[in-house]
Structure 1
Amino acid sequence: MPALDHERRDPTPAEISRWRRYLADEKAEAALYRDLAQRRQGEERDILLALADAEGRHEDHWRQLLGEHGPGRHRPSQRRVVLRFLARHFGFVFVLALAQRAESDSPYTKDADATAGMAADEKIHEEVVRALATRGRNRLSGNFRAAVFGANDGLVSNLALVMGIGATGASSAFILFSGFAGLLAGALSMAAGEYVSVGSQRELLSASKPTQITLSAAKSLDIEANELVLVYRARGMSLENAEHRAAERMGVHNCDCDPSLSLRPDQLDEGDDHEAVGTGIGAAAASFCFFASGAIIPVLPYIFGMSGLAAVTVSCVLVGLALLGTGGVVGLLSGASPMKRGLRQLAIGLGAAAATYLLGLLFGGVIA
């Protein structure tokens, strides 16, 4: 064990500093999970508290290695500090997404002073946090999707519109009017599209759910023909299991040999699928608001009286910062790198705007 090796000699200053940093990080992670647990109930609360206890066991390992050198102070990494602040003030899912990345970057796999069990714990913790984050992502995925895509569409489409018209040499007043027209038209279009899309998806899911017709029709069916067997086979049961369930439905026999086939009402599980899809009105409202909030940014310089190249430059800078932000949020929630997702959004948005700007220059030259 590493602890025994270090008992035979005094640890070096570098080792003491590293162990103190690990100890501070473990304390911060345990506190993070306890803070998150205070905002949850039931099973999720128990899981988070168990994670905090596991981090506490890791703390004991580093305390043992440090021995008399333990009392020295060391701040946890900046990531842990930020995570705990977010856990106390912001959304549960965002914090878990960040914690998932923190667990995946554990240095224990490459550090001989950490035990193999600790390295394995960190890998398992990543999966636990990933599963908890997935629950949260499923709860908000429907309206969140509409919000993110609405904001990005508003940013990119209206920036492209403003830059394209601006490149033709049009007046600032005309660019401003065009920007507001693009905002309203795009927001209404996005809202209508999301309402129809989500409503259609919910209808499709509802049409795919089993009904309770087997309960009311079973008593009148021909036992020999027994069409119920076809119903259960169509739902994916084997022939043997379908015959067993159909016989129970018709009251021919009652067998508890397989609890999964015992007689019980067909239940409509409306929760998970519809929760992930979201509601039509909610998606439409989110899409409208977020498209409008994104589309207003490119026209802000013109609202405040700017014109020409200065207005175009400020629009690009403002939209670029917004694209970095929305891309980073998507990266966070998806468990990917926020920076990479932000830069990808930036490249796509400015690329589209540059294309329309060149097109505007071309048309402006032709018109002139």
Structure 2
Amino acid sequence: MSAPTTPTARDRRRWAQYLVNERAEARVYRDLAERREGEEREILRALADAEGRHEAHWLSLLGGEPARLPRADTGTRMLAWMARRFGSIFVLALAQNAEGRSPYDNEPFASPAMAADEKIHREVVRGLAARGRRRLSGTFRAAVFGANDGLVSNLALVMGIGATGVSPQFVLFSGVAGLLAGALSMGAGEFVSVRSQRELLAATEPSDYADANLPDLDLDANELALVYRTRGIPAAEALDRARAVVEAAQASDRSVPYVRAETGPIDTHEVVGSDFGAAISSFLFFASGAIIPVVPWLIGLSGVSAVVLALLLVGIALMSTGAMVGLLSGGPPLRRALRQLAIGFGAAAITYLLGLVFGVSVG
């Protein structure tokens, strides 16, 4: 798109807005860089430098620093505020979305290189955010799923029990019982899952069972090559490696461990984490979600007021977790929040209707 030959006052106001936005974005990346190290710091500083080049473009068009400048737009200011106070994962997730909304595709005074830069920046930020997501995924998944399970299951429970017409005390007792039963079940299930996975990994870890017999193998036809072939090593390479290990074992008087030297020990704790830690965190995450639907009855409410407050509290919590998942996944937060809300309230509505039917049939 060719630029007009004579810019208008409106054009200059738009350039000034671009200028302050580019400055604010560069500041976001520099603030994030101060929280990182190594390659990630260098990448973030390079992004800040690129935003600086865009800033220089608008300064040039404006003929220097204007006497008055507008404020950066709301989204960019929020990013800057978060970059100074919070971790980089959430900020990068928001920055990824922001880079995807660049106005330069339809801006006649922006160069094609600037529009291309913004698209590349989105992919760079996506890559940096992906690193953070991978570091966070296990813990975050346990936290969100545990809390969400507690929210939905206990809301469904108290709605279903409450619809039968029982006393508020019975609803409260049912909610607390559901919290404890669900949290204990989650904790026990996570303990068994992690412990089983650790045992499975330990069973598949290479051992030194045959090391003492290595010098007795035939140098030219030894089954050690088959061990390497089971690990996906081509036959010729496996035989060469087996010959080298057997020769070393024979030369060093049976003291060279063939498996450990080739692969090193596997740290199953690092792979799957602690079984007790997983159990405790699952218990606490589930309980933190399951307590919310019970709060109205804990503070003495009953009937419609208790139900309305429970739905309000759980709705806020469901939308918060949904929006958080949306932010971290790079998706639209509002859509994820509404999806989480619909799932939770849908389950509660079904059990409430069943409770009504059950209450009428008992009555």
Superposition TM-score, scaled by structure 2 size: 0.88
Which residue matches 1:225? 221
Mapping for residues 1-368 of structure 1, pairs under 5 Å: 8-9=5-6, 11-68=7-64, 70-210=66-206, 218-251=214-247, 265-268=262-265, 270=267, 274=270, 277-368=272-363
> Which whole-Å CA distance do the structure 2 matches of 1:367 and 1:103 have between them?
59
Does structure 1 conserve the Cα–Cα contact (< 8 Å) formed by 2:220 and 2:243? no
| 1:241-268 Cα deviation digits (max 9, x unpaired) | 333433433448xxxxxxxxxxx74234
Which residue matches 1:255? none
> By how many angstroms is 1:107 displaced?
2.3
Q: Which moved more, 1:78-87 or 1:168-177?
A: 78-87
What is the DSSP-based 3-state SS (H/G/I as helix, E as strand, rest coil) of the residue aligned with 1:38?
helix
> By how many angstroms is 1:75 displaced?
1.6
Aligned AA (1:243): L
> Which whole-Å CA distance do the structure 2 matches of 1:83 and 1:214 have between them?
58
> By how many angstroms is 1:189 displaced?
0.8
What is the DSSP-based 3-state SS (H/G/I as helix, E as strand, rest coil) of the residue aligned with 1:79?
helix
Does structure 1 conserve the Cα–Cα contact (< 8 Å) formed by 2:214 and 2:246? yes
Does structure 1 conserve the Cα–Cα contact (< 8 Å) formed by 2:219 and 2:247? no
> By how many angstroms is 1:73 displaced?
0.6
Aligned AA (1:105): R
Aligned AA (2:20): A
> By how many angstroms is 1:223 displaced?
1.5
> By how many angstroms is 1:295 displaced?
0.9
Q: Structure 1's 244 and 312: CA in aligned 2 closer, same or farther, altered over 3 A?
A: same
User: What residue ranges of structure 2 are gaps of 5+ in the alignment?
Assistant: 249-260
Does structure 1 conserve the Cα–Cα contact (< 8 Å) formed by 2:150 and 2:289? yes
> Which whole-Å CA distance do the structure 2 matches of 1:349 and 1:330 have between them?
15
Does structure 1 conserve the Cα–Cα contact (< 8 Å) formed by 2:16 and 2:58? yes
> By how many angstroms is 1:65 displaced?
2.1
> Which whole-Å CA distance do the structure 1 matches of 2:238 and 2:110 have between them?
54
> Which whole-Å CA distance do the structure 2 matches of 1:339 and 1:135 have between them?
24
Q: What's the RMSD between the two structures over aligned residues?
A: 2.5
What is the DSSP-based 3-state SS (H/G/I as helix, E as strand, rest coil) of the residue aligned with 1:224?
coil
> Which whole-Å CA distance do the structure 2 matches of 1:71 and 1:209 have between them?
69
What is the DSSP-based 3-state SS (H/G/I as helix, E as strand, rest coil) of the residue aligned with 2:344?
helix
Does structure 1 conserve the Cα–Cα contact (< 8 Å) formed by 2:225 and 2:235? yes
Q: Structure 1's 347 and 67: CA in aligned 2 closer, same or farther, altered over 3 A?
A: same
Which residue matches 1:259? none
Does structure 2 conserve the Cα–Cα contact (< 8 Å) formed by 1:164 and 1:356? yes
> By how many angstroms is 1:203 displaced?
3.8
Q: Structure 1's 172 and 73: CA in aligned 2 closer, same or farther, altered over 3 A?
A: same
User: What residue ranges of structure 1 are gaps of 5+ in the alignment?
Assistant: 253-263
> By how many angstroms is 1:199 displaced?
2.9
Q: Structure 1's 228 and 118: CA in aligned 2 closer, same or farther, altered over 3 A?
A: farther
| 1:104-163 Cα deviation digits (max 9, x unpaired) | 222223333222222222222222222222222222222221111111011111111111
> By how many angstroms is 1:206 displaced?
4.7
> Which whole-Å CA distance do the structure 1 matches of 2:339 and 2:38 have between them?
39
Which residue matches 1:256? none
Q: Which moved more, 1:37-46 or 1:179-188?
A: 37-46
Does structure 2 conserve the Cα–Cα contact (< 8 Å) formed by 1:143 and 1:282? no
| 1:255-296 Cα deviation digits (max 9, x unpaired) | xxxxxxxxx74234649x945x44323322222112111111
> Which whole-Å CA distance do the structure 2 matches of 1:297 and 1:242 have between them?
59
Does structure 1 conserve the Cα–Cα contact (< 8 Å) formed by 2:205 and 2:265? yes
Does structure 2 conserve the Cα–Cα contact (< 8 Å) formed by 1:327 and 1:345? yes
> Which whole-Å CA distance do the structure 2 matches of 1:66 and 1:217 have between them?
80
